[in-house]
């Protein structure tokens, strides 16, 4: 869902979406949205990781990473102005 929120398109679609989820990677977000922060792409990629041991283990972990990203984006915006 995070991929879809960032890109406006589903990460996996078609009749064999289940196979795609298990075996294929979606189009890299940086290819779809070049200006997307690399840190957000890292978070999305970790959420979509095929190896369950490398994926987020709970919602609190992804929430913490998203909060760090927001804090970083906010501080970058303040220092740029």
16, 62, 58: which is closest to 42 by C-alpha? 62
pTM > 0.85: yes or no: no
Question: How many domains does the chain fold into?
Answer: 1
Query: Mean pLDDT throughout 59-68?
Result: 97
Contact 53, 27 (CB under 8 A): no
> How distant is the alpha carbon of residue 24 from its chain centre?
15
The boundaries of the domain holding residue 40 are 2-80
pLDDT exceeds 80 at position 75: yes
- The per-residue pLDDT for 20 is 74
pLDDT exceeds 80 at position 74: yes
Query: Mean pLDDT throughout 61-73?
Result: 95
Q: What is the domain-level CATH number for residue 15?
A: 1.10.510.10
Q: What pLDDT digit, counting tens, does each position of 4-42 carry?
A: 999 999 888 766 667 777 778 889 999 999 999 999 999
CA angle 61, 40, 79 (to 5 degrees): 105
């Amino acid at each position: 869902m995070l991929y879809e929120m960032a890109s406006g398109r589903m990460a996996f679609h078609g009749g064999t979406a289940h196979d795609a989820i298990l075996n294929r990677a979606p189009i890299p977000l940086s290819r779809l949205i070049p200006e997307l922060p690399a840190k957000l792409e890292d978070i999305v990629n970790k959420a979509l990781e095929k190896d369950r041991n490398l994926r987020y283990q709970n919602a609190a972990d992804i929430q913490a990473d998203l909060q760090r990203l927001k804090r970083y984006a906010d501080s970058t915006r303040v220092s740029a102005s």
